[in-house]
Structure 1
Amino acid sequence: MTPKPEDAQSYTLPQNNGYVNSAFVSNEKSSSANLSNNTNGDVRHTPQPTQPSRPIIDFDDLLPHIGDFGRYQKILFLLMIPFAFFVAFVYFSQIFITLVPEEHWCAVPELENLKYTLDERRQLAIPYDENDGYSKCTMYAVNFTYIHSLGIRKADPNWPKQSCAYGWEYNFTEIPYSTVATEFDWVCENAFLPTLSQSIFFMGAIVGGLIFGYIADHYGRIPALAGCNIIGFVAGVATAFVGNFWQFSVCRFFVGFAFDNCFTMMYILVLEYTGAKWRTFVANMSIAIFFTIASCGLPWMAYYIADWKMFAIVTSAPLILAVFTPFVVPESARWLVSQGRTEEATKILKKFEKINGRKVSPQIYKDFDESCKRMQEEEAENANYSLLDLFKTPRLRRITILLIVIWMVISLVFDGHVRNVGSLGLDFFITFTIAAATEFPADTLLTLTLDRWGRRWLAFGTMVMSGTFSLLAVCVPVGVPSAALAILGRFSVNISYNIGLQYAAELLPTVVRAQGVAFIHIMGYVASILAPFVVYLSHIMHELPLIVLGILGIFGGFLSLYLPETLNHELPQTLADGEEFGRGQGMFDFPCCAKQVDDDVDKECGNFQRSHSIGQASLRASTRGEYSSSMLQRSVRSRASFKSINTKL
């Protein structure tokens, strides 16, 4: 059980460009009174020795008083489970309803009427090549009734050929059910249609991010969370009743509205109410456990349901549970504060206090109310800045462009690996499960290393490893060797993905951080639109997708070396800070080898130093700021904004 917090006193806080200097405050000393409970639940004050006391200067300072991770936070943590399942269902389900078996060939109804077996039909009607097997897109252009009357049972390779005229037959041995792609024959000259529908899905994600970002800004996080899930439910169920490609694409476009929005808002809400020392656990475990379980279970749901229409309904129907969200999940207190609704925020916090079994002094809430007013003034001051300010000075412009390109590369490589599983030469369902399971060790390894090795070299190492493994997968035989290397590439880019958005949130100045991270996030969606087309390159050459993903991974890794390291550094607040940040750092500076220095050492010396405000600044960029932009919705990838930032504080 977390010890009862001390009764914090009010301070006259020094100001620095309109921002509270939390590093200064955290080192102040003052006397305080210890709150303790007697057996009757009454609060008594007992004299205590003079010791440091942290005043209420931000939302995070209030959390220890109501409970960092008490009973209510644990309930909210468990309530993340359905939303983590929702995002896995929305993201991956389209893969399983657009699968096309590797073996397919032209249907010849004439031979079926003549009672030929499958092998006899293929031998007589389908051109055969020693390397590629039976043709997928051509058939012999002859009169098969006449051929049958002559008693011929095997085709002459010199017979004329034509494109499939009567549809296709499919080998459903490895994929044991018909999909929307096989039902509507999206193969051969129409093989690009599943790829196009995937890209349309990501376009819907962009539009949905903008729409529900606006709703989250003006009407609250809970209406946005419930709304996007309801649209995902309606469009997902409607997918099962489509009659052509464009109907299917419209449905997937609206399902894209729910992509990540269906989880990210809940994810951020829970992190808002979780104390700093527990955020790393909550941020990582919600993804590593809940999302991974859903991702690994999804292929087997498809396998055993064995009906793409029923699968679409089963994976979409649970999203309707989001209508109960307003009854079990509290509104974002940070958003309420940003709207000037401090009394409502305080009411929610008192509910946390009650369920967690805490007793909080009225003075604490008074201090919180005063800090909220300062926070609103800060927001008003930041409103004078725009995204264009990131491109006005040379160093900050270079850093911003690098962050955009690197995040686009990471997004494209990650999504490319997700969708390229079918080209690895092994059982699709087993391979997908193993690849999805890499999320758990990737998150765990990141937690153990990110605050020790830093961002830059870990991003470089994991991206280069991803690219190297992808290229090596091309050089070994198709099957277990190539699949193993490709999965290692997926594992590595999982780590890179989780570093990406956090890196941006730390490097961009506070005054434009939310807008900058939002723009970078949107550019990642643009890159994801291209990922299905990279995977489609396998129709040209089987190894081409892995070659492209490998080259891009290595390219992005080397680009990350040109970014400044942020570990143990004060985060930039003003544009001037952003322009000077990292000046004096060498490319080969490595945090593990750097000498730790005191906080009062000049920041411009280039040494690594721990800032007391790192956790607050990053959390503020990831929760208050992101929805102010009306754009930033991505977990992953925004989930990275929280990962390990607050460890060791």
Structure 2
Amino acid sequence: MQMNWVCDESWKPAFTQSMFFFGGIIGTLFFGYAADHFGRLWALYSANGLLLVTGLATPFCQNFVAFTVIRFLMGLTHTTFFSVFFLLTLENVSIEKRSFIGNISLAVALTVGGVYQPWLLKYLQDWKIWHHALFIQVLFAIVPRGFIHESVRWLASEGRVEESIEVLKAIAKFNKKTVEPHIYKSFEKLVIKEKSHESQKSWLDLFRTPRLRRNTILMIITWMCISSMFDGHIRNISNLKYSIYWTFSISAALELPADLCTVWSLNALGRRWSAFLSMTLSALAMIVCGFNLHNIPLATVFAMMGRFFITFAMNTGAQISFEIVPTELRGQGNALANVFALGANFFSPYIVYSSKAWESLPFMILALGSLFGAVTALFLPETADVDLPDTIEEAEEFDKHHTFFYVPIVHKWRAKKEAKEEARRNFNIPQITFSENETSLLSNRPAKAKKTGC
């Protein structure tokens, strides 16, 4: 940091990082509340605006107090600056496109950014210039107001019928679709009817009913495990013997294939089994890696495999955390999960540091944490191919019809097979027996003369 934070002042970098995470906890709660009460767009623009200002201001901080304050303010935007847009995306697309739209943007952006940034830093050899180059990109996130629209689901949940209809009309016009006026009228009546029975909600309502309470707790635990293990994997690269530039770039390049696999898996295997499978495979890769650290090429390959599968799990967990919570509390519910995840992330540096006790210990901890998260994910409700719940009442009844071993691709295959069998039974033509004369007429051949006795 070029501030001589060494010897007696060596505690200062860790303290500023702690203040960053502390800001993250406060900011996540604040922007989660804001997303539910002031709108998704308000939270999105506010978080990214603050991130842009603090990011550009950081290199100008010349003392400990100023740097700590800026880190705290930047921490307020941690996760929110992109998670709100992810939320907005999921609420504005159809069921069959949620997984693709939600993950393809992350796949491209995280891959490109993660691959070029280490080499840009190595080329510039100046963290201040690099910092400015990194955060000036936030300008692209502050999209012109007319380019994206507020969530129709959120507007409807707030009873803002006219605004929600205007958004729907703008979307229909952009897609060159014609919507009959009576459909808008039906939508308006439905929103007014549902809004008349609603009261103001807070995140505490997530724990008011038994099934939603259970799902919320399981979602938080699973997200804590996935988030902390993902952060641990990134930091644990330092325990590999290869160049940090190469290992970081390669691990970042795995984002694209991992995200593309996630898109397929979320629809085919479902959210629960995707999370279970990816975290289990990540754990197995870490176990193999931990016991083969003396074989550097082998250890590096399995470490990258572990990173691939934990990225797979991260994308799955992010989507689950949004889909389980009802629309009226989705911002606060996701914020609550992220607060607990940030708390778990406090321990990820200590996971890496545990190599001082035993060089394989970080890999074993990452394996155990992944296995624990894999088990809890199995008991979550399946959200694939179903409408997102809008109210607490809908969330309480959510996914009651699915069995524990429900897998979307298997269910679809069985349904298709049963439909074919049903069609075959419906179109089964009864057997008709013809006499010899009728048969000859149908075949245009003369019938055989009957033999008669003399």
Residue identity in the other structure for 1:494: T
Structure 2 CA distance for aligned equivalents of residues 560 and 549 of structure 1 = 16
1:296 to partner: Cα distance:
1.9
Deviation of 1:435 after TM superposition, in Å, equals: 0.7
Identity of aligned residues (%): 35
Report what 1:547 is aligned to: 364
1:406-462 C-alpha deviation (Å, 9 max, x unpaired): 221111101111122222111111111111122211222222223333344432222
Cα distance, 1:568–1:199 mapped onto 2, change above 3 Å: same
What CA distance in whole angstroms lies between the structure 2 residues aligned with 1:355 and 1:565?
33
Task: Identify the match of residue 76 of structure 2 among 227, 248, 257.
Answer: 257
Matched, 1:454 2:273: no
For the residue of structure 2 that corresponds to 1:258, the secondary structure is coil
> Is the CA contact 2:24–2:75 (under 8 Å) kept in the aligned structure 1?
yes
Match of 1:403 among 198, 219, 225: 219
Name 2:339's counterpart in structure 1.
522
Question: If the length of structure 1 is used for normalisation, what is the TM-score?
Answer: 0.56
Q: CA deviation at 1:234?
A: 1.8
Shift of 1:565: 5.5
| Residues 205 and 259 in structure 1, CA contact (< 8 A), matched pair in contact too | yes
Match of 1:226 among 45, 49, 60: 45
Distance in 2 between residues matched to 1:575 and 1:339, nearest whole Å = 16
Q: 1:427 aligns with which of 240, 243, 256?
A: 243
Q: Deviation string for 1:257-297 (max 9, x for gaps)?
A: 23332223333334444344433332121111123212222
Partner of 2:441: none
- Give the Cα–Cα distance (whole angstroms) in 2 for the partners of residues 369 and 188 of structure 1: 66
Query: Does the 8 A contact of 1:297 with 1:433 survive in 2?
Result: yes
**What do residues 10-65 of structure 1 show as CA deviations (whole Å, max 9, x unaligned)?**
xxxxxxxxxxxxxxxxxxxxxxxxxxxxxxxxxxxxxxxxxxxxxxxxxxxxxxxx
Closer, same or farther in 2 for the Cα pair 1:486/1:228, shift >3 Å? same
Change (3 A) 1:196 1:410: farther
Q: Deviations along 1:608-638, whole A, 9 cap, x unmatched? A: xxxxxxxxxxxxxxxxxxxxxxxxxxxxxxx
Superposed displacement of residue 359, structure 1: 3.3
Distance 1:415 1:387 in 2: 27
Residue number among 280, 296, 305 corresponding to 1:479 in the alignment: 296
Structure 1 segment 27-66 matched on structure 2, within 5 A: none
Which deviations, in whole Å up to 9, do the C-alpha atoms of 1:566-602 show, x marking residues without a partner? 667898887798599769956x67666679888xxxx
- Is the Cα–Cα contact under 8 Å of residues 288 and 440 in structure 1 kept in the other structure? yes
Structure 2 Cα separation of the partners of residues 584 and 272 of structure 1: 23
Give the aligned CA root-mean-square deviation in angstroms. Answer: 3.7
2:353 is aligned with 1:536: yes
Match of 1:493 in 2: 310
Letter matched to residue 237 of structure 1 = L
Aligned to 2:450: none
The alpha-carbon distance between structure 1 residues 516 and 268, as it changes in their structure 2 partners (threshold 3 A), is: closer
Residue 228 of structure 1 aligns with an amino acid whose one-letter code is A
SS in structure 2 of the partner of residue 202 of structure 1: helix
> One-letter code of the match for 1:446?
T
State how far apart, in whole Å, the 2-side matches of 1:459 and 1:344 are. Answer: 37
SS in 2 for 1:426: coil
Q: Aligned pair 1:415/2:235, yes or no?
A: no
- Give the partner amino acid of 2:206: L
Q: Which amino acid aligns with 1:550?
A: A
What residue number does 2:418 align with?
none
TM-fit CA distance, 1:377: 3.5
Partner of 1:371: 190
Letter in 2 for 1:524: A
Per the alignment, in what secondary structure is the counterpart of residue 357 of structure 1?
A: coil
Aligned-partner residue type, residue 404 of structure 1: I
Q: Distance in 1 between matches of 2:412 and 2:161?
A: 44
In 2 relative to 1, CA 196–469 (structure 1 residues): closer, same or farther, beyond 3 Å? Answer: farther
Residue matched to 2:88: 269
Distance (Å, rounded) in 1 between the aligned partners of 2:128 and 2:69: 16
Gap change, CA 1:322 and 1:411, over 3 Å in 2: closer
The answer to whether 1:353 aligns with 2:169 is no
Distance 1:247 1:594 in 2: 58
Q: CA deviation at 1:256?
A: 2.0
Counterpart in the other structure of 2:208: 389
CA contact (8 A) 2:121 2:127 kept: yes
Query: Which residue does 1:290 correspond to in 2?
Result: 109
1:78-477 map, 5 Å: 180=1, 183-186=2-5, 193-320=12-139, 325-377=144-196, 379-380=198-199, 386-390=205-209, 393=210, 400-476=216-292, 477=294
User: What is the identity, as a one-letter code, of the residue corresponding to 1:260?
Assistant: T
Structure number with higher strand proportion: 1
Gaps of 5+ in 1: 1-179, 599-649
- Code of the residue aligned with 1:268 in structure 2: it is L
Corresponding letter in the other structure for 2:236: N
In structure 2, C-alpha distance between the alignment counterparts of 1:403 and 1:229, rounded to whole Å:
26
TM superposition score normalised by structure 2: 0.77
Normalized per residue, the structure richer in helix is 2
Q: Which moved more, 1:209-218 or 1:226-235?
A: 209-218
**Residue range with higher mean Cα deviation, 477-486 or 413-422:** 477-486
Contact 2:230–2:314 (CA under 8 A) maintained in structure 1: yes
Distance of aligned partners of 1:208 and 1:343 in 2 relative to their CA distance in 1, 3 Å threshold: same
d(CA) in 2 for partners of 1:387, 1:219: 20
Distance between the aligned counterparts of 2:159 and 2:340, measured in 1? Answer: 32
* Aligned residues of 1:463 and 1:493 also touching (Cα < 8 A): yes
The match for 2:439 is none
> 1:303-338: CA deviations, max 9, x gaps?
222101111122122324555533543333444334
Indicate how the Cα distance of structure 1 residues 218 and 388 shifts in structure 2: closer, same or farther if over 3 A, else same.
Answer: closer
Q: Where does residue 83 of structure 1 map in the other structure?
A: none
User: Structure 1 473/481 Cα, relative in aligned 2: closer, same or farther at 3 Å?
Assistant: same
Partners in 1 of 2:171 and 2:381 — Cα distance? Answer: 40
Which structure's relative contact order is higher, taking Cα pairs within 8 Å and 6+ residues apart? Answer: 2
Structure 2 counterpart of 1:519, one-letter code: L
Write the distance in 2 (CA, Å) between the matches of 1:259 and 1:448: 28
